[in-house]
Amino acid sequence: MTWSQTINKLVFMLALLSGPGLHAAPEVKPDLGVVIARATGSVMLIDANTRSSLGIIPGFGDLSHASVVFADDERYAYIFGRDGGLSKLDLRQKTISKRIVQAGNSIGGAISEDGKLIAVANYEPGGVKIFDAETLGLVTEIPAIHGEQGLLSKVVGLVEAPGQRFVFSLFDAGEIWTVDMSDTRHPAVKKFSHIGKQPYDALITPDGRYYIAGLFGEDGLALLDLNATAQGVRRVLDHYGRGEQALPVYKMPHLEGWAVAGHYAFVPAVGHRQVIVVDSSTWQEVKRIPLHGQPVFAMASPDGRQVWVNFALPDNDTIQVIDTDSLQIVQELKPGKAVMHMEFTATGNEVWVSVRDEDKVMVYDAHSYAVLSELALDKPSGIFFSYRAHRRGF
């Protein structure tokens, strides 16, 4: 037997011993997410890699204003329903591990920095409840009591912040509160009052430093530097609509969908057909970009090069794409009636879009704008991929 024949025989024997998987392509890990089917109280489990549905899971209650956060290992999704429901979805088993109804009306939530706590913002009765992420057992409750009469306020804009903190705003009181949960037996609450009229939503910047609440009752934003809370809350973009006729607001902008890209924040202006570009180092206005309609979400690509914007009625069949270098609109798309939400994939090369009144979810190439896939779903709304578990500000 020659030397080459010996080598070939050894390779053949190794292949037999190793089994059929020796030359098989490595298994691709699913890139999972969920799409809210608001009309049926269901969610569709999706895989970004294959642009496919992995099934529809029912039983989540009222999802008319639903939001989602993910566990650090991306196995569990925590879904916040409008009816006060908090559901823990096992993405691998495609089942609801646990569901509780913790309030009469809730408006979203957050997962703590260490992944062990889930906080929920409540409209009715008002306040925040914090739960154990594994069991959904109640850890503590923070009633949003304000004023001399001890009234309860609706809570909005709840986010997770560095240092095992949660931050949220009181719509009725015009306040921002932080709660430090480092010691779960003794939550430490700080209150900031007189921030402006009717904070309706908020965001935290990706670096975890700034918490910014939008104001419905007046123009402007309330900014809290979480690295220097002793300085209190300051106003930015004060009177941005001065001298302009505000339009009827059919759908409020979602500030957690603000785009923070590079040194700029792209801020949807309430009651105006424009996005305000803000320098995030000074919080001064740089430019206003006229838009097709009143913006609802302004979503930044992971590389910060694009911002995709959708709109409220009567212009909600359109998406416009802003180039963050030129600060110009570079593309306009017409997916169909009632574009509800947009979500970039983890790499940013594709964008998933829910089109509620067309009962479909569309997948776009983020560079060519070609439609890559369409999935049928009854009244889809929010789209959330599990990579959000590793990014602050989503």
Following DSSP, what letter does each residue of 329-375 receive, concatenated? EEEEE---S-EEEEEE-TTSSEEEEEEGGGTEEEEEETTT--EEEEE
- CA 158, CA 119: separation in Å to the nearest integer? 8
Domain boundaries, the chain: 102-251
- CA 139, CA 185: separation in Å to the nearest integer? 8
Instruction: Output the pTM of the full model.
Output: 0.90
CATH architecture designation of domain 102-251: 7 Propeller (2.130)
- CA 202, CA 71: separation in Å to the nearest integer? 22
Nearest to 156 by CA among 119, 218, 113, 202: 202
Residue the block writes with tokens 């959000």: 388
117, HSE (Cβ side, Cα atoms, 13 Å): 27
Residue the block writes with tokens 């809570």: 155
In contact, 119 and 127? CB cutoff 8 Å? no
- CA 51, CA 343: separation in Å to the nearest integer? 13
| Joined tokens for residue 230 | 């002793």
Q: Under the phi-then-psi rule, with left for phi > 0, alpha for psi from -120 to 50, and beta for the rest, what region is 184? A: alpha
pLDDT in tens, the chain (394 residues): 444 444 444 433 444 344 444 444 445 577 999 999 999 999 999 999 999 999 999 999 999 989 999 999 999 999 999 999 999 999 999 999 999 999 999 999 999 999 999 999 999 999 999 999 999 999 999 999 998 888 999 999 999 999 999 999 999 999 999 999 999 999 999 999 999 999 988 989 889 999 999 888 887 889 999 999 999 999 998 866 554 556 566 555 666 656 777 789 898 877 789 999 999 889 999 999 999 999 999 999 999 899 999 999 999 999 999 999 999 999 999 999 999 999 999 999 999 999 999 999 999 999 999 999 999 999 999 999 999 999 887 6
**Residue 82 CA to chain centroid, in angstroms?**
16
Phi, psi of 257 (to 5 degrees): -95, 10
Nearest to 179 by CA among 171, 187, 226, 394: 187
- CA 157, CA 174: separation in Å to the nearest integer? 12
SS3 181: coil
